[in-house]
Amino acid sequence: MKLAAISDIHGNLLALEAVLEDIEKHNVDVIVNLGDILSGGLFPSETADRLLPLNLPTIRGNHERQLLETTPEKMGLSDRHAYRYLSPEHLEWLRKMPAGLTLHNDILLVHGTPGNDKEYLLEEVTETGVRESSHERIYEHIKHHNASLILCGHTHIPRSVEISSTCLIVNPGSVGLQAYDDEHPFFHKMEAGSPHARYAILEKQANQWTVNFRKVVYDWEKAARHAQENDRPDWVNALRTGKM
């Protein structure tokens, strides 16, 4: 089996189109979408319109949940921008998304950790910064799930961890935003280090999963200009450089 995992598009239609074009070259069986799809300073409705006809196995991220649960006046900038342009059809699409999904009995899709869409799985935020999660911490989050492959997003950082000989955990990175900062649970920055759109191809052969992390060139300068026009200067350098 061969699948492509995309995550954290954040309304970046330009990056999404480049990633979908790259995926076409690899003859995958299925594309899965790990959430945080529309919120940001770019093209929320256009991104929704592009994805809806594809009918991909898709889970919601924290931003989808926030769009559905938060009143517009209490939303952050990214959610408020998306909400302004989304149609009732788009919002109904979000409502139907599950928080997690199991495919073929042994592939688990989550956004953050199982049961928590705002918690990192492969990284840990402390008062002194971000560090890679220990195997013990990861295991505590996944021990009740029998999966040979666990796909997660949220951090925007491509990473894979073989937690045992029978379980691979993969974060494909972000399609649409390669750097951000956050105050939860402590202030920290996440930086992929380059502006390329990211995704991953996973293949299972002889009961063993392998991962191929992909970096795709797209017109990030155009995306940065659009963010600037939409009063999101905080996104400009992140889109251009993959750094804050």
- CA-CA distance, 82 to 80, in Å (whole number)? 5
Summarised one tens digit per residue, pLDDT across range 37-75 is 999 999 999 999 999 999 999 999 999 999 999 999 999
- Evaluate whether 135 touches 165 at the Cβ level (below 8 Å): no
DSSP 3-state assignment of 206?
A: coil
**pLDDT reported for residue 84:** 97
- Evaluate whether 18 touches 222 at the Cβ level (below 8 Å): no
The answer regarding whether domain 2-241 maps to CATH 3.40.1440.60 reads no
**pLDDT reported for residue 67:** 98
Summarised one tens digit per residue, pLDDT across range 208-237 is 999 999 999 999 999 999 999 999 999 999
What is the average per-residue pLDDT within 122-144?
96
Domain boundaries defined on the chain: 2-241
Single out the residue of 189, 178, 149, 151 nearest to residue 19, CA to CA. 178
**pLDDT reported for residue 233:** 96
Is residue 152 very low, low, confident or very high in pLDDT (cuts 50, 70, 90)?
A: very high
Place of tokens 């991104």: 47
- CA-CA distance, 176 to 195, in Å (whole number)? 9
Summarised one tens digit per residue, pLDDT across range 74-108 is 999 999 999 999 999 999 999 999 999 999 999 99
Q: Which one-letter DSSP state was computed for residue 53? A: G
- CA-CA distance, 15 to 88, in Å (whole number)? 25
Is residue 165 very low, low, confident or very high in pLDDT (cuts 50, 70, 90)?
A: confident
- Backbone φ and ψ for 36, nearest 5 degrees, come out as 55, 65
**pLDDT reported for residue 3:** 98
- CA-CA distance, 198 to 13, in Å (whole number)? 13
